[in-house]
Chain A
């Protein structure tokens, strides 16, 4: 253990496309999933993370290192999270939600969900359907009725840019 030897323990994480990453245990245990594996003693060799690809895992590890380097200052952590997510596109944010959910990282989960909500807020129904791959299962009549009922919510919607 790190406390006994005085040197920081490093873990090796493996993505589902077989990329290997080294990360300090102190940062990796932000993930409750990884922490449980460490506590159960399954972290001796390589930790396989079957639900996360290399690209997303690299990004999550950047976040783990960045946020754990900030001392207990909620404001600074928040601004780090905002900056970290500011340039991520919708698909990447969706990757991150799934990764944060699988890795059980509530602080990242909250931040990414909030970011997705912020991106969606003024988007059209069509944009949302395309981005989430959702098929419209209303009949034209049903759709017209729901739209008519909530007309006022369609004011101030942005024109689709699909970015």
Chain B
């Protein structure tokens, strides 16, 4: 036996032996950044299959916190390609893609939602029934097309929202929740939920129709549920995927002098749900975070942008009245919780650039300057009219 081991060791280098033992290679792989791992798929077919193994992806998700490294922004010039803004300070940010080029999509494809490394996308065709929906991993460039939703029982339904639910720390599989509105004679809107599971397959109708008063278009997945915020005249709610139930989400009170709430930022980062609302032209505001049991929001960060406004006077639209809602020109692109608490920051769009505002040390710096083309001007105007920045989170997960 001993001679055999010796003979084997003589014939192979230690590195060759390490390479022959899956467990040892995986121990090394778990410590490599995603970019290196994806590159090393090219080493050999065996490495390719180790890196793409769902079990490995799951293990990696559980051992590494995974904050967003970039943002996709729908280009204001052509409304079909995406601009990319890197969120990491020291790393050069090469866009993983400019356009979502899927086969047979002449009008292109747009992003609906970003969820823990996967993007929910849909084709830009005009009619609901011709739309195709995709789940796309921009890191690995893999996508899958969701099966078509068929009408049930001849009831007319209007598509109100598609929402992706994916948590790689819990499961390598994702779910998509579709919300459709039923025609109603009473004038009250009722919504039918259907769920597709990448594990169990086809669309399934879930429960009886619900009555609700939110816009189901922009849901945020967090903590096993998809959340929607109302404008304050009706209840905000969340759909718990485990319990298959639509629940009311408590919201911070609306100040007396206001009749409705303005959702200025609603998003998830590294397992935390955040919400920001403004009442009037304010540069001091609170970032709320939801408690894990969904019982209430608490103030996580107090933000004061006075020093940011001093440093970037272009944030003031001095041609309009200071009491006007639009007096300050800025928008929250996204909020990222860092691997360490003191790395948490806001990415703010101001005229011409993106500013990174650290939520803990209150420091700030220019993170990105937009390149303007031709006739575009940056004065007092925000390049991106919609706050919808989609987080780019690197992921090896299969779709």
Residues of A whose CB lies within 8 Å of any CB of B are: 16, 50-51, 53, 90-91, 94-95, 97-98, 101, 109-110, 113-114, 116-118, 120-122, 125, 128-129, 131-138, 143, 146-147, 149-150, 152-157
Contact = CB atoms under 8 A, between A and B. Distances in A.
A60 B391 CA distance: 45
Contact of B14 (A50, A98, A147): A98
Interface residues of B, number: 41
B2 interface: yes
Contact of A125 (B5, B18, B19, B40): B40
B39 to A, nearest CB: 4
B351 to A, nearest CB: 30
Contacts of B2: 16, 50
Interface stretch (B30-38, B114-122, B126-134, B310-318): B30-38
B184 interface: no
B94 A155 contact: yes
B44 A120 contact: no
A73 B47 CA distance: 37
Contacts of A53: 9
Interface in B242-274: none
21 contacts: A16-B6, A94-B14, A94-B15, A94-B18, A97-B24, A98-B14, A98-B17, A113-B28, A117-B28, A122-B36, A128-B40, A132-B15, A133-B12, A134-B19, A135-B44, A137-B45, A138-B42, A138-B44, A146-B48, A150-B39, A153-B39
Contacts of B28: 113, 116-117, 120
A138 B16 CA distance: 19
Identify whether the interface residues of B are mostly helix, strand, loop, or mixed. Answer: helix
B141 interface: yes
Given A50-B2, A125-B43, A117 B15 contact: no
Contact of B33 (A16, A121, A149, A155): A121
B340 to A, nearest CB: 16
A129 B43 contact: yes
B147 interface: no
Given A109-B27, A121-B32, A132 B42 contact: no
A114 B64 CA distance: 13
B35 A153 contact: yes
Nearest to A151: B94
Contacts of A128: 40, 43
Contacts of B18: 94, 97-98, 132
